[in-house]
Amino acid sequence: MTTVSSRDPEIEQRSSVARSFLFVPGDRPDRVGKALGSGADAIIIDLEDAVRPEVRPYARSVIRELGEQPGVPSQPLIFARVNPFGSTDFAEDVEAAIDGRVDGIVMPKFVPGQAATEMDAALSAIESSRAGSDRMPVIGLVESAAGLLGLSAPTGFPSRVKRLAFGAADFYADLRISYHPSGIHTDLAMAALVVASAAQGLPAPLDSPHFSIGDDVGLEAAVGRARDRGFGGGLCIHPNQIALVNAGFAASEDERAWAVKVLAAWDDPSSAGAIRVGDELIDEAMARRARQIIVQVESLRVLGEKDVT
């Protein structure tokens, strides 16, 4: 396992293009072992919702033991979901994550603005107290009304925040209404995460889990909907969801072919201004989107996508 560093370009690149993030309870080391071979791009060892308070010390010991094991280059990225900033478990969770040399932490109840600045300072203080620790990258899990409204905070996000994710179940509970996988509140939240990620120069955000484990049809539809809205990956709660999530958030063969064709015509020295490719008028904005697709395809090679062409 690679020691976390915000200066490690490979870890940051892998984190930015990872599509499937599989949650696994921190108090179940057997499941952690299985998750490492699940095919997920990343796993999230949970110290929060999936672990009862009385067994969190044991779950922290499971994470710490990871730091004593030799890393495997092809294994997924490993994150720890700590308890929220301000909770009694926060500092001990972060210390365990540092000792376990995980690749980053998932911060629940993430609220941009002043709260995020204070969280960043608290993390820096903990890191300073642990000899040899590096700056820990963070995925901000937005799952409250305050978190959603804070996405437009003029102060932006701390530089350690590398990606955003949507926690729909907690978001709806915070709104005091029943959870809906789609609808006006979901649409609003998802659009805000995509816009905020683009404005802050972050990779495309991660969608909320699909909570019906055996519902492949519903999962596929949810992934397609999230991808169309600008999301780049999803949180998973069962290994059976990984293949559909990975496939759904990868560029399709049609998209790859379109991007190659557009860029071949656009980069032709004889081209000038807007050009016609087939029945489509191509300008700089369309060429920029084609470049983004090619970059995504090439970037997935760092996740071991041997079939990417």
User: Residue 91: pLDDT band by 50, 70, 90 thresholds?
Assistant: very high
**What's the pLDDT at 304?**
59
Answer whether residue 243 shows pLDDT above 70: yes
Single-letter amino acid, residue 163 = R
Task: Specify the amino acid at residue 33.
Answer: G
Alpha-carbon span 59 to 46, nearest angstrom: 8
Domain 9-248: assigned CATH number: 3.20.20.60
pTM of the entire predicted model: 0.87
What confidence category does residue 24 fall into, taking pLDDT thresholds of 50, 70 and 90?
very high
Q: 260-298, pLDDT tens digit by residue?
A: 888 887 777 676 667 777 778 888 888 888 887 777 777
125-176 pLDDT tens trace: 999 998 767 889 999 999 999 999 999 888 789 999 999 999 999 999 999 9
pLDDT number for residue 227: 94
Counting DSSP H helices and E strands in the chain, the numbers are: 12, 10
Residue range 6-10: average pLDDT?
60
> In 3-state terms, what secondary structure has residue 143?
coil
> In the structure, what pLDDT confidence band is assigned to residue 4 with cuts at 50, 70 and 90?
very low
**Every domain of the chain and the residues it spans:** 9-248, 253-303
